[in-house]
Amino acid sequence: MFVPCERGGGAASSDFKGFTLLVPAVSVGNVGQLAIDLVISTLNMTKVGYFYTDCLVPMVGNNPYATAEENSVELSINAEVYSLPSKKLVVLQIRSPFIKNKYRPFCQALLSWVKSSKCARVILLSSSHAYQRDDEQLLGTPLRYLLTPDLEKAVGGLMQELKWKEMEKVAAYPGINDSEKVLHIPGGGITKLLFTESCSKGIQMAVLLKFCSEGDNIPDAFALVNYLNEWLQLIKSEVNTSSQWKIPSSWRLLFGNGLPPALF
């Protein structure tokens, strides 16, 4: 459930009617979470609350978007909500993995909040194992999208104009029955479950994902957030859009550079 914080404006911070909600899937390479980091940091979004749940591994750390010593000691937890009313944008950042068998309860809680907060649509940023692509998925761009039927009516034409490539369905039984196709997102975490639940509940949801491998996934995050920006125009587009995104201070610790003294 959503718990507003005082700094975000109390009760007013929970009013997201007509907003677009960005959510990362905890998926291969943590690409969605890294992309969300770039959005929050670049747009200087305000933390307005927390998403209280027992479905995620508990964690606490210092402020991942610290800009000075004064705000570096602020604490952050495993699921926090940030808002930017001027762009009608709200973001749920997830910072820890799911507890075993807790995928479905989390999806139900999240979609219940989406309905109660009256968000207009949800965009899930995700990733999938590059090595498990079929022959068709090996062609062209490594970026894909999915739209629920309710959102397809609203933005399907725009996706065609952008020449985006929809996530292909693959054979359910390769080599045995190639005519039966299913949606398969290996390494995608909650992606498939959240998407199918949104379809059945009439929620407008888009999935934007990138095929990738584990390793240094910063380039994948930039590719995914630039993909998102083609649609939402969060920042002004230029030839080299990556240079316009602000890298958060916490990324200095991605490869074990030691803990910041302010944490102690």
Q: Is residue 56 included in any domain, yes or no? A: no
Please check whether residue 192 lies inside any domain of the structure.
yes
Q: Which pTM does this prediction carry? A: 0.90
pLDDT surpassing 70 at residue 258: no
What CATH number corresponds to the domain at position 230?
Answer: 3.40.50.10900
- Nearest CA to 121 out of 200, 185, 188, 207 is that of 207
Q: Is residue 213 part of a domain?
A: yes
* Residue 129 domain-assigned (yes or no): yes
Beta pairing class for 60-62 and 20-24: unpaired
Per the structure, the complete domain to which residue 165 belongs is given by: 15-44+101-234
For the ranges 68-82, 87-101, 117-131, 184-198, the lowest mean pLDDT is seen at 68-82
For residues 253-261, give the mean pLDDT. 64
Q: How far is residue 245 from each of residues 9, 46, 210, 216, 262, measured CA to CA in Å?
A: 27, 17, 18, 18, 25
pLDDT at 86 over 60: yes
Element (H, E) at 173: strand 170-173
- Supply the pLDDT for residue 238: 64
Q: With 60 as the cut, is the pLDDT of residue 263 above it?
A: no
Domain-embedded: residue 7: no
**Is 219 a residue whose pLDDT tops 90?**
yes
Number of domains in the chain: 1
**Does residue 216 form part of some domain?**
yes
Residue type, 130: A
Residue 203, pLDDT score: 95
Q: Residue 157 falls within a domain, yes or no?
A: yes
Residues 6+ apart with CB under 8 A from 116: none
Give domain status of residue 88, yes or no.
no
